[in-house]
Amino acid sequence: MVLVFDEYGHFEGVITSGDFLESIMGVFGDESADEQAIKRRDDETYLVSGWTPIDEFADS
């Protein structure tokens, strides 16, 4: 993790290793995939992807 400051010493932001790798190699994964984040199973349970925001899960 790197903190970024401008020439006047003002804080501009943070760069993570993921940001750095993404700028070199492009986007990781396919964000346009047709995967459902929340799937209801036949046994009345749910299969929830780990990347699902908790508020989205609570609304379903």
Read off the tokens for 59: 């609304």
Give residue-wise pLDDT tens across range 4-18: 999 999 999 999 988
The domain tally of the chain equals 1
Whether residue 41 contacts residue 48, with contact meaning beta carbons closer than 8 Å, is answered with: no
**Domain housing 14:** 2-59
pLDDT for position 45: 92
**Residue 59 or 4, more confident:** 4
Task: Give the C-alpha separation, 34 to 54, whole Å.
Answer: 20
Exposed/middle/buried for residue 45 (C-beta within 10 Å: 0-12, 13-18, 19+):
exposed
End-to-end CA distance of the chain: 35
Give residue-wise pLDDT tens across range 26-57: 776 655 555 677 888 999 898 888 878 888 87
